[in-house]
Each structure stands twice: as structure tokens, then as C-alpha cells.
A and B are shown apart, each in its own frame.
Chain A
Amino acid sequence: MDLNELIEIKEKELNSAKPIKLRCCLAAGCISSGGQSIKENLEHAVKEAGMEDEVEVIGVGCMGLCSEGPLVRVDPDGILYEKVKPEDAKSIVASLKGGSADIKKGDINHPFFTKQVPIVLENSGKVDPEKIETYIASDGYFALQKALNEMKPATVVDEVTKSGLRGRGGAGYPTGLKWGMVAKTQAERKYVVCNADEGDPGAFMDRSVLESDPHRVLEGMAIAGYAVGASQGYVYVRGEYPLAISRLQTAIRQARKYGLLGSGIFETSFDFRVDLRIGAGAFVCGEETALMASIEGRRGAPRPRPPFPAESGLWRSPTLINNVETFANIPVIIRKGAEWFSSIGTARSKGTKVFALAGKVKNTGLIEVPMGTPLRVIVEEMAGGVPDGGKVKAVQTGGPSGGCIPYSKLDTPVDYESLSQIGSIMGSGGMIVMDDTNNMVDVARFFMEFCMDESCGKCIPCRAGTVQIYRILTKIREGHGTEKDIVKLQDLCDMVKTCSLCGLGQSAPNPVLSTLRYYREEYMEFIKRNVSLNGKSHHSK
């Protein structure tokens, strides 16, 4: 494979395109409500109408608006059909000769779509994730070609550093710095690992990226491999994502066939192989040292850092670990340049962020917005607020490691620093909206139960601390709490936060702390109820 061949594939694919495109969403959400049979029925209807020469039916990845799925988009007309049923296929095809079908239509000029800046999701919902040629036709693998043939590894690292890209897994560590560390560590073997163990409940960005545009992640990993000097990559993907796993397997197979993965890529001396490792349902494996233990076939227990994976990682070799979304940003940074990328976003948080919108809002699904977009724009304009006139009470970001942001802070821009200032974190991108019917003590208890169950048990602060916090929360919730319990709760949270070994324990108290900060009255209500029920003499240990 060389540049000319790549261009040839691109042109062949573009030339074979038919004027009318029917795009059917085949991501996990839409498949669960009949996406596959809609696609088959559409193909059948096109055949019956004898329109095969003008119309093509394409199975694509996530189109974003999951709450209105299954979705079908008609181009170039730009009609978006919502909640499509398999039996609607005939009327959709019939409408292609003029007019439109009598099916619920989405407003593609709604802020949900217009406020988005798709970089990571640029191909999502457009290309066929199971066909590498469609990815190449959208300039796929051109960045890898450019990196290998026109750039030195150090230049690639520099470009990523200059772009200002920061880790999209949640912590926000500068990606270029991480790459630089691995690149300069001398070793015979190095590894590149893609963390696709998206464990935060309420987050599905990585699943969608892998289901919609898997080649993008592979290309990003290969560029990383070249930059840091690694020839083996692993994608550690959740076992709960069977569709993402199968599309990744297909993508790896196709890339290998074209020589875009394997030995001597683009006729250089660069070799890069990618293998999948399937997770087995342990939240802690999202932590990088636990993830590596799991790849090595062991229990996913984290270990203290240093040494950092960049020095001693998988099988004690230097290892670069980045999140799915981080890798998905790489090809476009190389293709369009660091300057272009760093022009998007805020001073310290560059580029865009993909969020999974869920909970009590009208429009749930996947969005990508520039860093610095106010939460209010996302929740009220794009997501359309709470259905049936309800009121937004809180926005939860960062899953069990994050916090609840109250309505009064809704003007906060989404960037790493602003969110941590108000007691939450950017996290991997889960954003769950809660309304007046959600009790915040319950929410805190829900997350603590999660952390208690998922604690690996290696260090005592996390193993025992999460259990004790959970018990106090239960006590308060059941009306047996006293004001002393609030003090105890606060102390315990501080202890678990400062003394735990890894990120799971260090961040587990966040949902409790942030609800204590903003919704203390809800805790006090349960306590007051206790006092009034039991009299002032009630002392509880």
C-alpha cells in the first residue's frame, strides 16, 4: 500500500456512490429497536421500486439522537425520519420520487445538531463502520500515511503537544507530554494501549465511537505507535459491548488486509499490530495499572505509581495508555495540523468533547461540543430541558468519580478546570440530568453502592471506607441519622479521598461531597424527620 493506492481506493469509492443515500442507524441503541430489519426492508423496497441505480442503503453508526431512534436519514434532501418502523420502508422509498413519507421527522436545524462541532464524530452516522473503503473515502488513513512518510516520530509528538490535546478519559493529562515520556524511554519493546473499558454508568461515548468509526481509533493508535516507537497495540474493550467488539474485529481484519496494520506499513520499516483484549466486567480495570494487570491475565488490582506505565507498564515495558476518544482525535490533528485544533476550545482545554446525554431530558444521545460550551446550552437548548415542563435540578458529570452540579451553576463552561472548581470532574463524558423527583441522598447512595461493590479490595481506605460511607448514607436515608453523622460522613470522605491507592477510591467520595455541598438541606430533612420522630434524646452511634 502506498499513497497512490490509497487515493485510488478513495476515488473508486467516491465514484461508486449513488446520488440518493438512505442512511440507517445501526448503533446499539437503534439496533435494539429494529434498526437491522429497517435496513433490510429498505434494501428490499429499493429493489422492488427498481431504483438500485440511484439509491443506496447504508448501515451507519450513531447519528446522535438516540431517544428518537431508530433513525433513517435521506440525503441529499437532509430529511431525518425518527422512530421508524420496519413497515415504514416502502413509504420512505416511495417518497424519494417527490415529497416525503408520513413519518415523524426530526428538525435538523434544532440546536441539538447545529451547536455541535463534530471532530471525533465527523464520520459517525455517515460512514459504514464495517467497510474500510468508506473510511478511506473520508480521508481515513491519510494521516497515518502523512506521519510515516513526511514526519519524524519526534515531530509527531511535537504536533500532538502543540495541539494542546488532553486525555479524554477524564483526568485531562496533556497527551503530548505522555507520548514524549514513552518516546524517550529506551526499551526493546514498547506497547500502545487503548482504554475502551468505559465503565462509568451513564457513559456511552466510547461505545458509540467504536461502533460508528472503529478505523479512526486504529489509525490514531498506529500513529501513536510510530511516534513512541511501539509495534504492538492492544484495545482493552468492555465485554458488555459485543457490537463494538465485533466491529473492531472486522476493522482490524480489513486494515490488515490492506496492509494498513501489520508489517512494513506504507512501505516503511514501521510495523504495528493491534489485538483485542476483552474485559470481564470490573469497573476498576478502567484505572491504567489495573487495566494492564487484566491484560496480563491477572485480577484487575491497581498498583502504586511511580513507576508510571510510561516507564514500566505492560510486562514491565514502557506503555502508552490513552482513551478511545483521545486516539480518535489524533488522525485529524495530524491531517489538519495542531494550529487548527488548538483554535477550538478554551485557553487550557483545546478541541471538543463528546458527551453522552441521558436522564431527564427530551433529547438523549450523543453530542460533541467545543470545550467551554456552557452547561446551560447543552442541557436546556440542545437536550431540550426536562420533558413535560419539569425543572432541572442537577447535572451529574464524571459518573461515580464526579459530582452533581446544581441548577445555579448551570452557566459553568465545560472544561477541565471549571468543572473541578465546582466539585465535579469532566470525566469521560457521561452527563446525566436529574429533575425534582430525584432525591440527592439517594443519588449519593446509589454511587457509593457502586464504588463499594466495585472496590477491588486491595487497599483498606477504599475497601472499608466505601462500606462505612454507604452505611451512614443508608442510616440517614432510613431516618435514623443525626447531625453527628454528617460530620462523620465528611471526615470519612476526606480520609477515603486522601488515603486510597488509586483513582477509584480517591474519587469515590465525590458524589457524596458534592451533594453535601449543594444539597445539604436534603440530608438535613431526613435528620430532622428523625429528631421529630424520636425526640431530642435520640443518640445514635
Chain B
Amino acid sequence: MTSSTAMAESSKTQTTAPKAGVAGDNRYKILESTMKRHQYQPDALIEVLHTAQELYGFLEINMLIHIAKSLKLPLSKVYGVATFYHFFSLAPKGAHTCVICMGTACYVKGAANILSEAERLAGIKAGMTTENGALSLMTARCIGACGIAPAVVLDGKVVGGQTEESIGEYVKGLISNGSE
């Protein structure tokens, strides 16, 4: 489900996406050396996708084509793997990310309410990015921070003990400040 929306979004935003293979781009060099270190083995596909996403923030379709060629894999395989795993995103993310943990411990402590409050205030559903590109709202299966549930990850930082009010303030702050 998430991958199909991601595909649809990626076609919209492709013009702003970084192009794979731009000479002189340092990220490109890092990606090449990762593939080289794995001797361009098809087995290394997931590692290479991890590196590419880390460098570029998401996996553009041109990037998948480039990786497929380099590892001598059919594009269908690369696309199949990239869409199978939740971790890989084919669409760019917003300036800020908010991942709401929906693990069992967070669930029994009201994560669903936190999510719907965030969705309501941001005006988007989980898995989407606000139109001004300020915020991407996502859900996680379980981030393993069950001891401090309910937990969310704001820009990569885990914060525990969340409430509808605390998440509401965060989202409202971002929406009013625009994309910065």
C-alpha cells in the first residue's frame, strides 16, 4: 500500500530529484565505491539500496535503473526488492519527519489517537508529505522503545511518553513555520 502511493508521488516530484551519475557529485562516488567493495555482486543489492537511500534520501527510479545495470540485475528484481521492504522509499521525504510507533505497547497506550490527531492537524494521512514539503508523517511497526511508550521518532530522535497534546503542538509548530 505504501509503495504504490510512493510510486505515484515519485512520478510527480521526479524533476526535483537528484540525478544518479552526475559527475563530480561526491555522493555518486560513495555509491560507486560501495558497489565496488561488494565487487558488483547481485547479492549486495540490499546493502547498495541502503547506501543509495542514505545518500540521496530516497530511491529515484533512475537510481534503480543505474543500480540494476551496475549489479547486472533485471530492473524488475531491483524494483521488486525496493518495494518489498518498508524501509526503502521511492518518494522524497519532507523537511521534517515524524514517525509514530504503532507497536503493541504504544498501541495499548493510545498510539492510534496520537496518529489521528497528527493526521488531522497536518491534513495528511500516514505515509504522505504535506504539500509545502514541511512534514512527512509515517508510522513504524515497532521501534523497540516499548518501555517509554507511546513513542514517536521526530527527525530521527526517539521521544517517549507522548500525548495527543504534545504531538499536536509539534505538528502545529511545523505547519505554521512553513518548510523550515
In the assembled complex, the CB of A317 is this many whole angstroms from the nearest CB of chain B, namely 13
CA distance A456 to B146 in the complex (A): 25
CA distance A450 to B46 in the complex (A): 23
CA distance A69 to B144 in the complex (A): 15
Q: Which residues of B contact A198 (CB under 8 A)?
A: 144
Q: Which residues of A contact B107 (CB under 8 A)?
A: 201, 446
Contact B80 A432 (CB under 8 A): no
Contact B145 A32 (CB under 8 A): yes
Q: Which residues of B contact A29 (CB under 8 A)?
A: 145, 147-148, 158, 160
* CB-contact partner of A199 in B85, B142, B145, B151, under 8 A: B142
CA distance A456 to B85 in the complex (A): 10
Contact A280 B49 (CB under 8 A): yes
CA distance A432 to B107 in the complex (A): 10
Tell me the B40-97 residues at the A interface (CB within 8 Å): 41-47, 49-50, 77, 80-81, 84-88
Q: A32-B160, A360-B108, A432-B108 are in contact. Are A297 and B147 (CB under 8 A)?
A: no
Q: Does B159 count as interface, using CB distance less than 8 angstroms?
A: yes
Closest B residue, CB atoms, query A359: B108
Tally of B interface residues using CB under 8 Å: 40
CA distance A322 to B149 in the complex (A): 29
Q: Does A356 count as interface, using CB distance less than 8 angstroms?
A: yes
Contact B141 A365 (CB under 8 A): no
In the assembled complex, the CB of B171 is this many whole angstroms from the nearest CB of chain A, namely 19
Q: Does B109 count as interface, using CB distance less than 8 angstroms?
A: yes
Closest A residue, CB atoms, query B142: A201
Q: Which residues of A contact B12 (CB under 8 A)?
A: none
Contact B144 A278 (CB under 8 A): no
In the assembled complex, the CB of A313 is this many whole angstroms from the nearest CB of chain B, namely 14
Among B42, B142, B148, find the residue whose CB has the most chain A CB atoms closer than 10 A. B142
Tell me the A35-50 residues at the B interface (CB within 8 Å): none
In the assembled complex, the CB of B151 is this many whole angstroms from the nearest CB of chain A, namely 8
Closest A residue, CB atoms, query B99: A240
* CB-contact partner of B146 in A280, A356, A360, A446, under 8 A: A356
CA distance A198 to B140 in the complex (A): 14
Contact B105 A358 (CB under 8 A): yes
- Please, what's the 1-or-0 string for A419-438, where 1 marks a CB less than 8 Å from any CB in chain B? 00000000000101010001
In the assembled complex, the CB of A318 is this many whole angstroms from the nearest CB of chain B, namely 18
Contact A28 B141 (CB under 8 A): no
In the assembled complex, the CB of B158 is this many whole angstroms from the nearest CB of chain A, namely 4
Q: Does A385 count as interface, using CB distance less than 8 angstroms?
A: no
- Please, what's the 1-or-0 string for B154-175, where 1 marks a CB less than 8 Å from any CB in chain A? 0001111000000000000000
Closest B residue, CB atoms, query A200: B142
Contact A430 B46 (CB under 8 A): no
Q: Which residues of A contact B114 (CB under 8 A)?
A: none
Q: Which residues of A contact B158 (CB under 8 A)?
A: 28-29, 31-32
Among B41, B102, B147, B148, find the residue whose CB has the most chain A CB atoms closer than 10 A. B147
Q: Which residues of B contact A399 (CB under 8 A)?
A: 104
Which of A202-210, A512-520, A528-536 has 4 or more CB atoms under 8 Å from chain B?
A202-210
Q: Which residues of A contact B103 (CB under 8 A)?
A: 201-202
Among A399, A446, A456, find the residue whose CB has the most chain B CB atoms closer than 10 A. A446
Q: A202-B105, A282-B85, A432-B104 are in contact. Are A32 and B147 (CB under 8 A)?
A: no
Q: Does B17 count as interface, using CB distance less than 8 angstroms?
A: no
Tell me the A14-70 residues at the B interface (CB within 8 Å): 28-29, 31-33, 66-67, 69
Q: Does B22 count as interface, using CB distance less than 8 angstroms?
A: no
Q: Does B23 count as interface, using CB distance less than 8 angstroms?
A: no
In the assembled complex, the CB of B52 is this many whole angstroms from the nearest CB of chain A, namely 12
Q: Does A259 count as interface, using CB distance less than 8 angstroms?
A: no
In the assembled complex, the CB of A443 is this many whole angstroms from the nearest CB of chain B, namely 8
Q: Which residues of B contact A240 (CB under 8 A)?
A: 140-144
* CB-contact partner of A281 in B47, B85, B104, B160, under 8 A: B85
Q: A29-B160, A360-B108 are in contact. Are A203 and B87 (CB under 8 A)?
A: no
* CB-contact partner of A33 in B1, B84, B143, B160, under 8 A: B160
Contact B146 A32 (CB under 8 A): no
Q: Which residues of A contact B46 (CB under 8 A)?
A: 277-278, 280, 294, 297
In the assembled complex, the CB of B110 is this many whole angstroms from the nearest CB of chain A, namely 9
CA distance A453 to B126 in the complex (A): 14
* CB-contact partner of A66 in B1, B148, B159, under 8 A: B148
- Please, what's the 1-or-0 string for A344-360, where 1 marks a CB less than 8 Å from any CB in chain B? 00000000000011111
In the assembled complex, the CB of B49 is this many whole angstroms from the nearest CB of chain A, namely 7
Closest A residue, CB atoms, query B45: A297
In the assembled complex, the CB of A77 is this many whole angstroms from the nearest CB of chain B, namely 25
In the assembled complex, the CB of B46 is this many whole angstroms from the nearest CB of chain A, namely 5
In the assembled complex, the CB of B89 is this many whole angstroms from the nearest CB of chain A, namely 10
Q: Does A336 count as interface, using CB distance less than 8 angstroms?
A: no
Among B41, B145, B151, find the residue whose CB has the most chain A CB atoms closer than 10 A. B145
Q: Which residues of B contact A281 (CB under 8 A)?
A: 85-87, 141
Q: Which residues of B contact A200 (CB under 8 A)?
A: 142
Contact A69 B148 (CB under 8 A): yes
Q: Which residues of A contact B142 (CB under 8 A)?
A: 199-204, 240
Closest A residue, CB atoms, query B86: A281
Q: Which residues of A contact B140 (CB under 8 A)?
A: 240
Contact A359 B105 (CB under 8 A): yes
Contact A359 B104 (CB under 8 A): yes
Add 12 more A-B contacts to A32-B160, A67-B147, A297-B46 (CB < 8 A): A28-B158, A29-B145, A31-B158, A240-B143, A278-B50, A298-B81, A356-B146, A357-B147, A358-B146, A359-B109, A360-B108, A430-B146
Task: Provide 30 A-B residue pairs closer than 8 Å at the C-beta atoms, listed in order of the A residue.
Answer: A28-B145, A31-B158, A32-B148, A32-B151, A33-B160, A66-B148, A199-B142, A201-B104, A203-B146, A204-B147, A238-B144, A239-B50, A240-B141, A240-B143, A278-B50, A279-B85, A279-B87, A280-B49, A280-B85, A282-B84, A297-B43, A297-B81, A358-B104, A359-B104, A359-B108, A359-B149, A365-B147, A430-B104, A446-B107, A453-B1
Interface residues of B (CB under 8 A from A): 1, 41-47, 49-50, 77, 80-81, 84-88, 102-105, 107-109, 140-149, 151, 157-160
